[in-house]
């Protein structure tokens, strides 16, 4: 059996100190949003409860689907690098970036390069790509037993009023080839992406621009699980593919307290095994309980084939 933890949208706090030049960009909007709204709902104590719960369960691997930071300050990347190190080793945590991790255009070295150990593949695949200021290959693939984790980057430098993402033609083509190859080799395929992957799963200004194209790739090549964040809520969709049913899950933010329109912080545990030639996946949702201040199981279920 292989056990995987999935969390997303950490939004580390507090926001580091900023200078006026830092705010002469889209960061100004994010800075206001943080101080007017976000800092009152994202709490380190809640995030720590989630992390402690994951460590207690000791899964075989962790999938972290983006938004470690808030407005892509250089100091935030340092802060997040320290946090990642305290959470776990790069070979235990697989990360894909979110829109807040590319909030503004930033060179690779002072930004995402500081987390590159968590975005490096270890299974040699024929198709890779380079995208924007993310100077490494996506998709990347990590092999853990008979599980293949496929990391995608939907993170782009969106316009001032946008929080959407894009994969691009080359990444989509590489993904299709990769998924077909992995299926032929008998792997259970888990895709990690920040933005919800299907059309209509996010409002227009926050959506994946090529969700229709990604849906077609999934229908053609197949996948067993697709894990995402971004919407800060529990989501489960099913998609019929050429190789069977793909289950698509989104999780709440890992640091947020319950509000009138969003659930409290949570993480998902997936237990994957092969029984008589068929894959079986059992899921447990662990959520932060405001009353007890601790993590509790709020749902348990198994996936249909």
Is the distance from CB of 101 to CB of 72 less than 8 angstroms?
yes
Mean pLDDT value across residues 266-279 = 94
Its pTM stands at: 0.95
Provide CB contacts within 8 A for 227, sequence distance 6+.
6, 8, 63, 65, 190, 191, 192, 193, 248, 249, 250, 251, 268
What per-residue confidence (pLDDT) applies to 24? 84
pLDDT class of 128 with cuts at 50, 70, 90: low
With CA atoms as reference, report the closest residue to 238 among 229, 251, 248, 226: 248
Domains and their CATH numbers in the chain: 2-302 (3.60.21.10)
Q: What is the mean pLDDT of the chain?
A: 93
Beta-bridge partners for 104: none
What per-residue confidence (pLDDT) applies to 134? 55
With CA atoms as reference, report the closest residue to 223 among 148, 132, 304, 129: 148
Sheet holding 147-151, edge to edge: 140-144, 147-151, 188-192, 225-228, 244-250, 235-241
| pLDDT greater at residue 149 or residue 305 | 149
Count Cβ atoms within 10 A of the Cβ of residue 205 and give its class: 0-12 exposed, 13-18 middle, 19 or more buried.
exposed
pLDDT class of 133 with cuts at 50, 70, 90: very low
Does an H or E element contain 215, and which?
A: helix 211-221
């Amino acid at each position: 059996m292989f056990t995987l933890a999935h969390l997303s949208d950490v939004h580390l706090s507090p926001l580091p100190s900023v200078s006026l030049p830092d705010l002469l960009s889209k960061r100004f909007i994010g800075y206001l949003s943080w101080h007017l709204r976000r800092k009152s709902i994202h709490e380190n104590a809640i995030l720590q409860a989630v992390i402690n719960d994951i460590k207690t369960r000791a899964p075989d691997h962790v999938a972290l689907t983006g938004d470690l930071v808030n407005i892509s300050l250089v100091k935030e990347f340092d802060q997040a690098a320290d946090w990642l190190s305290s959470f776990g080793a790069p070979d235990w945590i697989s990360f894909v970036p979110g829109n807040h991790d590319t909030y503004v255009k930033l060179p690779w070295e002072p930004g995402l390069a500081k987390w590159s150990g968590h975005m490096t593949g270890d299974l040699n695949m024929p198709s890779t790509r380079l995208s924007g200021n993310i100077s490494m290959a996506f998709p990347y693939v990590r092999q853990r037993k008979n599980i293949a984790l496929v990391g995608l980057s939907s993170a782009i430098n969106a316009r001032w009023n946008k929080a959407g993402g894009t994969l691009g033609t080359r990444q989509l083509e590489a993904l299709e080839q990769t998924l077909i190859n992995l299926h032929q080799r008998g792997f259970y395929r888990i895709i990690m992406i920040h933005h919800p992957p299907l059309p209509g799963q996010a409002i227009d200004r926050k959506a994946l621009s090529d969700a229709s194209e990604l849906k077609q790739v999934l229908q053609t090549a197949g996948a067993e699980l697709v894990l995402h964040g971004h919407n800060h809520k529990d989501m489960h969709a099913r998609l019929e593919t050429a190789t069977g049913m793909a289950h698509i899950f989104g999780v709440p933010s890992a640091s947020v307290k319950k509000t009138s329109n969003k659930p409290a912080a949570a993480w998902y545990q997936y237990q994957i095994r092969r029984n008589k030639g068929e894959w079986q996946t059992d899921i447990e949702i662990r959520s932060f309980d405001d009353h007890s201040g601790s993590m509790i199981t709020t749902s348990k279920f198994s996936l249909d084939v």
